[in-house]
Chain A
């Protein structure tokens, strides 16, 4: 047992420690420290290019990091000896552009990870998949292909796919940014439900009202560092940093 393990509090789900990432000469993440506990909802806010999406991708190491460590339940998953595929199955991801598999039915999209990664029998995976589709209001779309669905429906299917493996952590990457305005509500309602049922969530978002409403903690990223973090009331209502104030002012237009 390492020192890091011993220091881990029991309810800690995710801990980033000194995470750095550059693309060529551009430093995107410049030493990020962040801890997320069970049932917590953390909203990442910040301008485009502030590193929100990159930060989310480093969490399940879809983006290899240049320095620092990522702990999932106290285990350093950035250690190259760790097999990442089973780890990634424990972290659900929903993308801005849905990224559903267009050649598979909605149900097959949702059951794919269960069948191929967790090796669930098809019948059990499909039972679980149908339950999830019913929960997101798509029970009647199980056998449709994704291109037959509206953007909001596709994103709800993508959420069902992300939670199908019962992940310990759910990452949402600006999941309403690609939606028509009238479809945003149905997706946010679903996230609200997930948060209420105790799902641990880290989300990058531009929906400030929603973040204030649902998140327990707001993290403001600027130039690759966490410029300010705290409760929604504090960060959004009474920002301490000049750059947070500037960002929010620009945001309110």
Chain B
């Protein structure tokens, strides 16, 4: 057999499909056609139900005016977007703070030996308390409580307290994600690293953590998306973010449209990340289930 023939044999497209395979393909095409018809019909039915239950209601026109007024939306837009810029800055610093603090907490919780019992207990107590406390209460406690101590002459802006409260709350969740990640790495990896002479810290940093982060990336991204919208809660401390700006506009226009504007902007902000998260999860699933369509 010459090399050309062998190449032809290895090239799947060069082979004529068998009668059985052709029949299977015909069947699958028929099935696909049926699926498309079902999708179109169900979409039409859903649209019909929506029209009947929402748009044909007696109050729809008033709701449309107070929530979806284009003139109010355009007028509110500049202030809301200015507020959103504050949300973005808070989000940036909070994300960095959360990453640092949560890795630290998770690492502390992996320490073994009685010497480390106090720090381990402290870390465990921290995650318990801050996962239980509603974020809004943490915001009040940090935003009004700490300034009340008056340990500083200069006034710290409320968005800074908001950022700290976000870091405190989210680090408790994210550290649990990291801890699950650290525990998901096979103990034999630790054994191999320690047998090379790496210290506990280096083993975590160089060998365990990189593998852990990979395992929990989708969960981390999910928490980040959640934090992205919770950043709007700093408005309760008086920081003029997108939500607060919308509230001010609502009060002056007697119209709820600015809230919708802020909401749409938050969704647009989150959308790229949500897509990336889905993509990453799908890729990880694909990698773990090679060859399985189920």
Contact = CB atoms under 8 A, between A and B. Distances in A.
Contacts of B211: 101-103
Interface residues of A, number: 24
B195 A117 contact: no
B28 interface: no
A88 B202 CA distance: 14
B193 to A, nearest CB: 8
A60 to B, nearest CB: 6
B196 A99 contact: no
A112 B206 contact: yes
B191 A62 contact: yes
Contacts of B195: 60, 62, 88, 91-93
B70 interface: no
Q: Interface residue tally of chain B, by bracket? A: 10 to 19
Given A102-B211, A103-B210, A103-B211, A112 B188 contact: no
A99 B192 contact: yes
Interface in A86-143: 86-93, 95, 97, 99-103, 112-113, 116-117
A198 B109 CA distance: 44
A113 B192 contact: no
Contacts of B192: 93, 95, 99-101
Residue from the set A85, A87, A113, A117 with the largest chain B CB neighbour count within 10 Å: A85
A161 interface: yes
Contacts of A86: 197
A167 to B, nearest CB: 10
B225 interface: no
A205 interface: no
Chain B contact residues: helix, strand, loop or mixed: helix
Interface in B174-214: 188-189, 191-199, 202, 206-207, 210-211, 214
A58 interface: no
Contact of B198 (A60, A92, A102, A117): A117
Contacts of B207: 101
Nearest to A161: B196
Interface string B209-222: 01100100000000
Given A101-B207, A103-B211, A85 B197 contact: yes
B187 to A, nearest CB: 10
A72 B211 CA distance: 33
B197 A165 contact: yes
Nearest to A96: B188
Given A101-B207, A113-B196, A95 B191 contact: yes
Contact of B196 (A102, A103, A165): A165
A64 to B, nearest CB: 11
A112 B198 CA distance: 9
Interface string A40-58: 0000000000000000000
B197 A103 contact: no
A96 to B, nearest CB: 9
Contacts of B210: 103
Interface of A: 60, 62, 85-93, 95, 97, 99-103, 112-113, 116-117, 161, 165
19 contacts: A62-B195, A86-B197, A88-B195, A88-B196, A90-B197, A95-B191, A95-B192, A99-B188, A99-B192, A100-B192, A101-B207, A101-B211, A102-B211, A103-B210, A103-B211, A113-B196, A117-B197, A161-B196, A165-B196
Given A62-B194, A88-B196, A101-B211, 7 more contacts: A88-B194, A89-B196, A91-B195, A93-B195, A100-B192, A101-B207, A116-B206
Interface of B: 188-189, 191-199, 202, 206-207, 210-211, 214
